[in-house]
Chains A and B, each alone.
Chain A
Amino acid sequence: MRSVAMKSCVRVIAAALVLNGVARAQTAATPATTASGRPAADRGYVEGVAQSAFGNVTTQSYGVEFGATMRPSLQVFGEFGQTRDVADTAFTNGAGAIASALARVQPAAVGVSAKRPVLFGGGGVKYRPATALTVQPYVLGGFGFARVKNNVTFTLGGAEAAAAALAPFVTLGSDLSGTSTRPLLTLGGGARWPIWQALMLDFQYRFGRIFTEEHGTTTNRAGIGFGVRF
């Protein structure tokens, strides 16, 4: 029930972003078609992004970002992607403590893997100050949602232990299992560099704050996007 409501919320936000962008484009944007008939220089963009994520663990993040120009200095953007692991020390320590206890209550050798992959999506506003440079710097801010999965797996005797095998020894709470969807604040900046015709590179940094229960989770992503303007 709660999951359905969340999905509805995401849809509403996405629709609002798109409609907002379209409306502004129709009323404010100046046609930017070039003389050669190439696509409008800056009506919008879409790019694929690959990043390194820094936090309690260093991991990878990748996704897609797209945006629409509202004004020459202002764009709305949307993004979705995945960060492989945002595990914090409380999470990994908890998993480690349970693994140690498992080693005492049953005879098999115990291993543990504790990761928190995050699927995220959201949107926001990107500000691009006027510049005479080829490289276009920008800053941005936005909100969205992050779906955090507590991915803890234990091995007993080298083999991954199924839930049934663990049941006699441990009951995992929501601190080490399950998924949750939480608000996400994104702040960041970068510089776009047109490389050939409509193609561009986007050197970027993103700060993220996932409002997980009890204490938030901070992510830092730095990477590059490759996309096309239209």
Chain B
Amino acid sequence: MCLLVVACGKSDRTPTQPASTEATAEADAVTGSVTVPQAVSPAANGVIRNVDQPVTLVVTNAVSTKGANAYDFEVATDTGFATKVATKNGVAEGTGGRTSVALDRLTPNADYYWHARAQAGGTAGPFTAARKFTIGPAITIDTPVPIGPLSGAQTGARPAFRVRNATRQGPAGAITYKFDIATASTFNPILVTATVNEGVNETGFIPASDLPINAPLFWRATAIDAANSVSSSPTAAQSFTTSLAIDLSRVIVSYAAAPTGPQVAAWRQTATIQAVEQDGNPAADGIMCISFTTSDNWPSTPFFGAEEVQVYANQWYFANIGGQWYGGPGEYLRVGRGFCKTGQGTNAIGPDGGWNTVMRSWAPKVGELVGFMISTPARNWPGMRTIDERSDIVVQPWRDTSLGSRIAGTVRR
């Protein structure tokens, strides 16, 4: 009888609420009870930028009465989960009361539904209610096209870097452009970097300080949609070389009775220098010829009231001393007397000008870059003032044949 009792002592375990058929348990084994985890993120109906993929699903941990929890995550394109696009099974329970899993990248610009459940002790718990989230559309930004300076260009110390605005696909946000300037095409290190808002059709950037002079430089630009964390590829590196350029508005005018740098910078530029020929050789009389053309009619004025001496322009000379441009109006040009003046020898140009400060003792060295400009009468300004116009500035090396400079022929007087 006893054997009979023992032999027949089998369970006919019939749970009133059977465990999921997916959680197959040995017939005699006790299965655990499992609660539903709670969906944490993505939030219901949340919209996730495509750039923020991969999406991470997070649930608060479920409670089970038996064994350790493992989690199943499912993502589908329908609420019934008939079309699953991602499944992560057996995800180990996380610490801190939460379990998460990172999905593979999902197709952008689509709605998705996700749910999760816990399994423990041979029982699969219920799935969380389906939650919807949306992956935003893909945004791509094409590489902007450099306008200038293009490779091989020579520029001033503060050239304008310009690109044609990048084309883009998708609902891009506001675009900014990051300009990088470096001494090497690898852009390491970067000398200057700046981010500017997009302009109309094109976007540009002018450095706030002078770039290294007479140095090969490289620049590139990258279009950035910061709101969506999308960037274009940088433009191909453009190489350029700076030459010593002069920003009139920053020049220290070294003559007391003359317009200031900002003032003369604001003068209309109606003349263009054709050539600067000079020789600091005293034997050549320190000849200084600055030929130019004007698009306007520059009037003459009596030289200190002398009607028979009509002047209409001044030569300007600019010296870079310690990194700062100094300059001022020099010789007057008389009507009908050509473009040449004398007395601007290497050791005479400073003292001759009647300059103040450091320019008074300035004696340009051979090869030193010196600036030249023509303006309507500006020396002793506003005396003899006419229409306040000027030419461009030409920068070129100082020459002195007595110190070895070579000039093709002699200066044409």
| Structural contact, A143 and B11, CB atoms closer than 8 A | no
Give the chain B neighbours of A178 by CB distance below 8 A: 13-16, 18
Q: State in angstroms the CA–CA spacing of A20 and B12 once bound together.
A: 28
| Structural contact, A170 and B9, CB atoms closer than 8 A | no
Q: Identify which of A122, A144, A170 contacts B33 (C-beta below 8 A).
A: A170
B36 within 8 Å of A by Cβ?
Answer: yes
Given contacts A169-B126, A177-B15, contact A183 B9 (CB under 8 A): yes
A132 within 8 Å of B by Cβ?
Answer: no
Stretch of A10-18, A28-36, A64-72, A188-196 at the chain-chain interface: A10-18
Given contacts A168-B129, A213-B30, contact A100 B4 (CB under 8 A): no
| Structural contact, A183 and B33, CB atoms closer than 8 A | no
Give the chain A neighbours of B122 by CB distance below 8 A: 173
| Structural contact, A3 and B5, CB atoms closer than 8 A | no
Q: Which of B28, B29, B63, B124 has the most CB of A within 10 A?
A: B63
| Structural contact, B126 and A171, CB atoms closer than 8 A | yes
Tell me the chain B residues, 333-352 only, with Cβ under 8 Å from chain A: none
| Structural contact, B63 and A97, CB atoms closer than 8 A | yes
| Structural contact, B14 and A144, CB atoms closer than 8 A | no
| Structural contact, A174 and B19, CB atoms closer than 8 A | yes
Residue of B nearest to A102 (CB): B35
Top 7 closest pairs, chain A to chain B, by CB: A178-B15, A9-B8, A183-B9, A173-B31, A101-B63, A94-B65, A143-B5
Q: State in angstroms the CA–CA spacing of A12 and B5 once bound together.
A: 10
A73 within 8 Å of B by Cβ?
Answer: no
Given contacts A173-B19, A174-B19, contact A13 B4 (CB under 8 A): yes
| Structural contact, B126 and A182, CB atoms closer than 8 A | no
| Structural contact, B126 and A213, CB atoms closer than 8 A | no
CB distance from A213 to the nearest CB of B (A): 5
Total contacting residues, chain A, CB less than 8 A: 47
Given contacts A104-B38, A143-B1, A168-B36, contact A174 B9 (CB under 8 A): no
Given contacts A94-B65, A175-B65, contact A101 B35 (CB under 8 A): yes
| Structural contact, B16 and A163, CB atoms closer than 8 A | yes
| Structural contact, B30 and A214, CB atoms closer than 8 A | yes
CB distance from B228 to the nearest CB of A (A): 35
| Structural contact, A173 and B123, CB atoms closer than 8 A | yes
Q: Identify which of B11, B13, B28, B35 contacts A98 (C-beta below 8 A).
A: B35
Given contacts A6-B12, A102-B35, A175-B32, 17 further A-B contacts (CB under 8 A): A12-B8, A97-B65, A98-B63, A143-B2, A145-B5, A168-B126, A169-B35, A171-B19, A171-B124, A171-B125, A171-B126, A173-B31, A173-B33, A173-B65, A173-B121, A174-B25, A181-B9
Interface string of A38-63 (1 = CB under 8 A from B): 00000000000000000000000000
Give the chain A neighbours of B8 by CB distance below 8 A: 5-6, 9-10, 12-13, 145, 183
CB distance from B58 to the nearest CB of A (A): 15
Given contacts A5-B10, A13-B8, A168-B129, contact A174 B63 (CB under 8 A): no
Q: State in angstroms the CA–CA spacing of A174 and B66 once bound together.
A: 11
Give the chain B neighbours of A9 by CB distance below 8 A: 4-5, 7-8
| Structural contact, A176 and B11, CB atoms closer than 8 A | no
A180 within 8 Å of B by Cβ?
Answer: yes
Q: State in angstroms the CA–CA spacing of A167 and B18 once bound together.
A: 11
Binding site for A on B (CB under 8 A): 1-2, 4-20, 25, 27-36, 38, 62-63, 65-66, 121-126, 129
| Structural contact, B35 and A170, CB atoms closer than 8 A | yes
| Structural contact, B36 and A174, CB atoms closer than 8 A | no
Task: List, sorted by A's number, 19 A–B pairs whose CB atoms are closer than 8 Å.
Answer: A10-B8, A17-B1, A97-B63, A102-B35, A105-B35, A144-B5, A166-B17, A169-B126, A170-B35, A170-B36, A171-B126, A172-B16, A173-B31, A175-B65, A177-B17, A178-B14, A178-B16, A180-B13, A181-B10
A211 within 8 Å of B by Cβ?
Answer: yes
CB distance from B126 to the nearest CB of A (A): 6
Binding site for B on A (CB under 8 A): 2-3, 5-6, 9-10, 12-13, 16-17, 20, 94, 97-98, 100-102, 104-105, 122-123, 143-145, 150, 163, 166-183, 211, 213-214
CB distance from A186 to the nearest CB of B (A): 11
Given contacts A101-B63, A169-B36, A175-B121, contact A181 B12 (CB under 8 A): yes
Give the chain A neighbours of B5 by CB distance below 8 A: 9, 13, 122, 143-145, 183
Give the chain A neighbours of B14 by CB distance below 8 A: 3, 178-180
Give the chain A neighbours of B27 by CB distance below 8 A: 2
Q: State in angstroms the CA–CA spacing of A9 and B30 once bound together.
A: 23
| Structural contact, B6 and A183, CB atoms closer than 8 A | yes
Q: State in angstroms the CA–CA spacing of A168 and B128 once bound together.
A: 7
Give the chain A neighbours of B32 by CB distance below 8 A: 94, 173, 175
| Structural contact, A172 and B1, CB atoms closer than 8 A | no
| Structural contact, A182 and B11, CB atoms closer than 8 A | yes
| Structural contact, B4 and A174, CB atoms closer than 8 A | no
Give the chain A neighbours of B29 by CB distance below 8 A: 213
Q: State in angstroms the CA–CA spacing of A151 and B25 once bound together.
A: 21
Give the chain A neighbours of B129 by CB distance below 8 A: 168
| Structural contact, B10 and A173, CB atoms closer than 8 A | no
CB distance from A152 to the nearest CB of B (A): 9
